[in-house]
Amino acid sequence: MYMNFLVKIPTGENGITIKNIKGTTYVYYAYERKYDPDKKYSVPKTTSIG
């Protein structure tokens, strides 16, 4: 559901990603990282905050 108001984008750069999907801007926050030993890198768990 979309509301008719603006969302403040956090100023901290750690854990914040901005993605444009089909003309809509989504702001994601990475709240946890889990290391995958098979792939040898960490995979973030993210949630949409705006």
| Model confidence pLDDT, tens digit, residues 1-50 | 567 777 676 676 678 888 899 988 888 888 888 999 999 999 989 888 87
CB 6 within 8 A of CB 27: no
| Model pLDDT, residue 37 | 94
Q: Which domain holds residue 15?
A: 1-49
| Model pLDDT, residue 1 | 54
| Model pLDDT, residue 27 | 86
| Model pLDDT, residue 10 | 67
CB 35 within 8 A of CB 44: no
Length of the chain: 50
| Model pLDDT, residue 22 | 92
> 45 vs 2, 16, 26, 41, CA distance in Å?
23, 12, 15, 13
Give how many domains the chain has, as a whole number: 1
DSSP label at residue 23: T
Instruction: Please give the structure tokens belonging to residue 36.
Output: 């995958």
